[in-house]
Chains A and B, each alone.
Chain A
Amino acid sequence: GQNIDQPTEMTATEGAIVQINCTYQTSGFNGLFWYQQHAGEAPTFLSYNVLDGLEEKGRFSSFLSRSKGYSYLLLKELQMKDSASYLCAAMDSNYQLIWGAGTKLIIKP
């Protein structure tokens, strides 16, 4: 079956770095997405990886290893506004997104 695993909740300190891991199993693979979702709002796109390696975009970076079925989202210089849920989603061979349950990130001062 198809499955996405990511931690339910993580806590980090303002100014620090946090890494949110995601493992996936899908029928075929067309890329890995990370979305940010603040409470009561719709998700917003953060990153897309389809090739192995690290993609950096400002304070956020995303890594993919296709052979390991593994991705992580790295957030640097954490700010209080980064408190949100982070959703990992893998796209299968039918271009359907398989969603993880999301990781709630709590930032403490």
Chain B
Amino acid sequence: GAVVSQHPSRVICKSGTSVKIECRSLDFQATTMFWYRQFPKQSLMLMATSNEGSKATYEQGVEKDKFLINHASLTLSTLTVTSAHPEDSSFYICSARAIGRESGEQYFGPGTRLTVT
């Protein structure tokens, strides 16, 4: 149980275009999902916390107009990287926390590797 999927697993896009990444909890409901970014040989950096039915909470330094987050249902959150640039190339990972499990573990998706050319 507690499986989180991400789609796509890899994406290459041209500079200036937008890319949407989906994060789904497959066998549980998640009121809260988290979006992380990880550059090579660095640790996870939390970008934003996504709550179903409300606006996402962005970490300091993360542009909310560039990284659009929509948490439309208890099993789906999307991250859209708008007007992508080469410096946005990174490994994007989502995680989800089950309802009623605020102190529980986060279940991670497999990640999406974004390359902007």
Contact = CB atoms under 8 A, between A and B. Distances in A.
A91 B103 contact: yes
Contacts of B110: 41-42
Interface in B88-114: 91, 93, 102-111, 113
B103 A43 contact: no
What size tier do the contact residues of chain A reach? 20 to 34
- Grouping DSSP codes into helix (H, G, I), strand (E, B) and loop, the A interface class, with mixed when no group exceeds half, is loop
B105 A48 contact: yes
B49 to A, nearest CB: 7
B43 A31 contact: no
Nearest to A45: B105
Interface stretch (A54-62, A68-76, A96-104): A96-104
B46 A43 contact: no
Contact of B103 (A44, A50, A99): A50
Interface of B: 34, 42-44, 46, 49, 91, 93, 102-111, 113
